[in-house]
Amino acid sequence: MKPTWIILLFVAMPALSQERADENEREKYPTSFAFQIRGLAHNRFVEGSTLTQTNDTVISSIGMRNGFSFGGLIRRRYTDQLGFELGLIHNKRYFNLASSPTDTNVTYTSDFAFTNYELPVKGLVFVKFSNSIFANVGLGMTALYKPSSVYVQVDDLPVKRSASFEGYAFRKFGFNVDAQIGVEYRTRNSGIFYLGGSASIPTSPLFAFISVYRSQNESIRVDQAQFVRSPYFTLDLRYYFPKIRNKGDQPNKGLLD
């Protein structure tokens, strides 16, 4: 064997070994995709369940209700204990509205739903209980996008009175701090089944609540907007799809692979 071929052999062997190691690593820790649905419950420990605005003429309030969420997640593991996750989530929150003029016994009530989108990024730590059951905890940040504001008007036509409510998304983007904990059941061919919960704390308000009461030709607006942060707890259900392996003979890798 010529010296040139000996040199090329010694150069190629580490590269081939590294390629096989990378393939084995990807096989052992494959990237997973999950579909998630969540129930959202207002966190009363951080923000009250009802926020009120008052002046000499009107008392207005907004009450927090539960919501729901769904979306997709991508998980990447690097070791048996460590990984990270990112995704795209659709959230819908519901709120009760009320406005009571002090000069009448009438209360105008309505409700609205506020929609936003989340892009969560979390670091994960896994704890093995058995070959199939694992616990995980996660901590990270979520970027929020609020596509539009919400406006609702309630009319009392016989007396020409009305009340309007607005959830004003004064900032289109925001951030939450998130923490999660859950348990998952892993199978080889049927994917991963996950049950867990999380807590999300906004770093800025979700929207500003503004109410206006109109009587005849007079319009009375509560002077100060009420900022609604709307922190929440979640109950999470996820299904991670199994890795799909092609059946039959696989093509040999060429120079372009």
Residue-range domains of the chain with CATH: 28-240 (2.40.160.20)
Query: Element (H or E) spanning 233, and its range?
Result: strand 232-240
Say what percent of the chain tops pLDDT 90.
50
CA atoms within 13 A on the CB side of 251: 5
Q: Which amino acid is located at 228 in the chain?
A: V
pLDDT at 114 over 90: yes
Answer for the pair 145, 173: CB distance below 8 angstroms, yes or no. Answer: yes
CA 202 to centroid of chain Cα atoms: 11
Report for 71-75, 150-154, 208-212: range of highest mean pLDDT: 71-75
Average pLDDT value over all residues in the chain: 83
Contact 238, 34 (CB under 8 A): yes
Ranges of beta strands (E only) in 102-230 are: 108-128, 133-145, 150-156, 161-168, 173-186, 192-202, 207-215, 218-221, 226-228
Q: Is the pLDDT of residue 121 over 50?
A: yes
Q: In this predicted model, which residue has the larger pLDDT, 183 or 156?
A: 183
- Dmax of the chain from CA atoms? 104
- Asked if 242 and 190 count as a contact pair (C-beta separation under 8 A), the reply is yes
Which residue, 237, 244, 192, 198, is CA-closest to 77?
192
Q: Which two tokens stand for residue 69?
A: 């969420």
Per the CB < 8 A criterion, the answer to whether 163 and 220 are in contact is: no
**Dihedral, CA of residue 38, residue 39, residue 41 and residue 43, to nearest 10:** -10
Query: What residue type is assigned to position 205 of the chain?
Result: P
Tens of pLDDT along 157-178? 666 777 888 888 878 999 999 9
pLDDT at 71 over 90: yes
**CA-based nearest residue to 64, from 204, 229, 202:** 229
Residue-wise pLDDT tens digits, 225-240: 889 999 999 999 999 9
- 7 pLDDT higher than 50: no
Helices (H), the chain: 3-28
In three-state secondary structure terms, 11 is: helix
- Across residues 22-32, what is the average pLDDT? 65
Average pLDDT over residues 37-58: 88
Q: Helix, strand or coil for residue 206?
A: coil
